[in-house]
Structure 1
Amino acid sequence: MTYPGSREPRLRVVAIGDADSFVKWAAHLIDRLDDISQHLLLVDTPLVVSDAQKDAALADTRFATRQQSVSRVAFSAVVEWLARDAPDVVVLAGRAPFVRLMSREIDRLARRPVVVSGLPGMSIPALRGALEYRRHCDLMVVHSRREVAAYARLGRTIGVSVPIALARLPFAQRSTERQGGTDLVFAAQALVPQSRDDRRRIAEILRLAAVADPTRRVVVKLRSRPGEVEAHRERDGYTELLENAPENLVFSFAPMSEALATAEGLVTVSSTAAIEALAAGVPVIALDTFGIRPELLNRVFEESGLLGSADDVVARRFRHPDPRWATTNYFHDPRDSLWWDQARRLVALRRQGMLPARVVPQPRGGALHAAWHRRNVLGAHDRSVSGRVAGLLVTPAIAALIALKRRRGGRDAVPAEGGTMDAGTQDFLLTPSPLREAIG
């Protein structure tokens, strides 16, 4: 009971994550909230952050100095932990299958929290799988007006209704204090570009940039050290491709904010680090050497004023964004970021019994399919017999189905609403992810 003059108790918010980019996103997202009680759960999966990755992800948040607010837990302990803690809001921060698996665990709770999920970076094109796997969450957070429109339209097209909420990228807040620097920082990506030849081409561009001015550094910013894992498995890493680099070409595993502190400019193909850099006042080159293609995830930079060539990189001709592009893409008015207001309203509705639970149904393959899904997310951390059996029996069938969908290709890309593909439709895909590894 609340008495006159007393305050409502602070809402309890728990983020649950595993992989580095998602942990960073969730920690910064809820760290921006005032007057809440917060905790971060790191669930053991093959992608779970190492201690070094965790420290980098939590840099510049209150979690960095409040390690008692961060817990590592086994998957089997998640339900008991949540039942004991009784959070008002749970933020699910992981790849799409992780979100669905954790949603099933939340379904087991007697006192159900409001479930929020989201994507940790730029999300154009909007992907069908990213939305499908989050359809049983109460709220999905994205980070630009363009993404809100893309996911809303995708949902209408495939018949998935999930409330879409807008937030500023939490680790890309505008900075008014910048001393400037001399480093060319390259934000490496695990999945983009995919081919070894393209990655070797980038390595050569960086080498040429280093040779062009030996007095200034070229910093290759990596997210994982040898032996660590990321949300996505890297092939043809730059430490291998740049073995005989000039002395002024160096590697960094520091938090991106630290790398940007000494940056003259940032180069990337399509990393969200571009937005983090722009927010910090660091100009950017979005490398267009390989064109603008879905599998490069760089269509978002069209008309941004940021696209540049290999020659631009070597000459360090960095760019600032077109203001009209920026307003639509990630630099909207902070007052429009209403995701937390929406989440609080959902908490109030749930307390009043007016917000029905979005329960994850059993998969069409029954218990065997559910066991395979658990095994797919947890890997060796799932020690159940059913998981091992499902892995042997179901995996080949799933692989064959995915291959069939990929062979069908663009036939599924025609909008269900009819008509031809227009600019808005190009902001989402109905086909599987254009990358060899799903990114949602």
Structure 2
Amino acid sequence: MRLVALADSDSYVKWGASLAGTLPPEWDRELLVVDSPMVVSDAQLAAALAGSGISAVSRIALLDVAARLAADPPDAVLVATPGPIARVLTRLVADLVPRPVVVAGLPGISIPTTRKALLYRRQADLLVLHSHREVREFARLSRAKGWDHRFGLATLPFMSQRPASGTDLVFAAQAIVPALREDRLVVAAMLRDAALADPTRRVVIKVRALAGENQTHPERDGYPDLIAELGPVPQNLVVSAVPMAEALDTAAGLVTVSSTAVIEALARRIPAIVIDTFGVRRSLINPVFQESGLFGGRDAVVAREFRHPEPSWLNDNYFHDPVADDWAQTLEALVLARRAGELEGRSSHLPRGGALRAAWDRKRAFGDADRSLGGRVALVVGMPLRAAVRAKNRAGRRFRSRLRTWRSLRASAG
């Protein structure tokens, strides 16, 4: 059996390559890095592939994807990209003849669930998740929307149990969590204070990208710049872009706001602190850590008071018995159904606008990386329409607001 993974950004390349690498040895695996506005640099690609076991890797333009897959048809295609790009690629793959099995998924902590995560991947035959809780909550959301997703469970593929020993405090930086500059300055000050508190031990800021490189989520207010604003940078406060597995080799503990890196650390028996200074809420992607025993604030970070997780939290949250993993078996069953001509088709779920709307989605997702005529036409037609729709929606909101105010005043007067 043969699987081709399509990926673009750093976190999704890491996840897609690692997941493909967990398939049984009889699978032939290839990774195509699709050009997009957030495509990985060569250095990021090397870091993301480390330990995945995937060696057949090449870069490809969006316009060449269909021809490449048609020339050597795979049994399955794993779409490992952010949502808007995943929607475009799953449509593209599902239109191939013969159609391969379409697999998609999410690369790390996916609680709390979001409607868009499912909407963008409705055309996939199989959606891969990484905990009993994720499968349960996404299945509930899919049913509530009247959708028909099929879910598969997989242990996070880049989890390792190799021993680690060291004295570093490793901080897993995130591009959009927390989002506010003032909150990121608070975190930067914590890390600086931790370095000053013990000059004999390093504080390592593990970043996903160096200056000028893309990330899955664009970053503003990067920690190296913020720390530089706070005063002289301690010599034991360093920035690193090595693979996370390598950074953890010398870690005494990991600190994060909500990065999936905490799961990697815990798998290696490295304790952690999940910063709760800004609360626990959806926008911080940290509700999943409630009842884990991992939350801590500034004092815990500065004192390096790392925590081990509560045992009762583990099974439902990423540390289930690998025997429960069923994604590979489900994928194989779908491939056999495909070969027998029994794989059910998946409608494209195009919104109003049909092919023009699909071209608009493609152009919006890929930007300059979409060099198709249809994308240019959709942009020319779509931008004025989008502006008109937004103006209409704003007018409607203003009208409804004024109507509510009028009714409220009338009720008060009465």
When the two structures are superposed, what TM-score results if normalisation uses the length of structure 2?
A: 0.91
Cα 1:168–1:366 change in 2 (3 A) is same
**Counterpart residue number, 1:223:** 208
Other structure's SS at 2:346 match: coil
Tell me how far 1:350 sits from its aligned partner. 1.5
Whether the aligned pair in 2 keeps the contact of 1:292 and 1:298 (CA below 8 Å) is yes
**Counterpart residue number, 1:279:** 267
Tell me how far 1:361 sits from its aligned partner. 3.8
**Counterpart residue number, 2:245:** 257
Tell me how far 1:54 sits from its aligned partner. 0.3
Q: Which amino acid aligns with 1:37?
A: D
Tell me how far 1:362 sits from its aligned partner. 3.5
Could you tell me how far apart the structure 1 residues matched to 2:38 and 2:393 are? 27
Output one character per residue of 1:355-378: Cα deviation in whole Å (capped at 9) or x when no partner: 212131443123332221111121
Correspondence list, 1:268-347, <5 A? 268-347=256-335
The sequence identity of aligned pairs, in percent, is 53
Q: Is 1:16 aligned with 2:6?
A: yes
Correspondence list, 1:18-417, <5 A? 18-34=8-24, 35-63=26-54, 66=55, 69-173=56-160, 175=161, 177-243=162-228, 244-395=232-383
Structure 2 regions of 5+ residues with no counterpart?
Answer: 398-414
Whether the aligned pair in 1 keeps the contact of 2:94 and 2:102 (CA below 8 Å) is no
Q: Which amino acid aligns with 2:87?
A: R
Whether the aligned pair in 2 keeps the contact of 1:372 and 1:395 (CA below 8 Å) is no
Output one character per residue of 1:56-98: Cα deviation in whole Å (capped at 9) or x when no partner: 00001222xx3xx101111111111111121111110001111
Could you tell me how far apart the structure 2 residues matched to 1:38 and 1:166 are? 20
Could you tell which deviates more after superposition, 140-149 or 377-386? 377-386
Could you tell me how far apart the structure 1 residues matched to 2:169 and 2:350 are? 50
Cα 1:87–1:401 change in 2 (3 A) is farther
Q: Which amino acid aligns with 1:330?
A: Y
Q: Which has the larger radius of gyration?
A: 2
Q: Which amino acid aligns with 1:81?
A: R
The count of corresponding residues between Structure 1 and Structure 2 is 391
CA RMSD of the aligned region, Å? 1.9
Whether the aligned pair in 1 keeps the contact of 2:164 and 2:251 (CA below 8 Å) is no
Could you tell me how far apart the structure 2 residues matched to 1:403 and 1:14 are? 43
Cα 1:385–1:90 change in 2 (3 A) is closer
Could you tell me how far apart the structure 2 residues matched to 1:398 and 1:232 are? 24
Tell me how far 1:25 sits from its aligned partner. 0.3
Other structure's SS at 2:315 match: helix
Could you tell me how far apart the structure 1 residues matched to 2:220 and 2:300 are? 26
Structure 1 regions of 5+ residues with no counterpart?
Answer: 1-10, 409-440
Tell me how far 1:324 sits from its aligned partner. 1.3
Tell me how far 1:272 sits from its aligned partner. 0.3
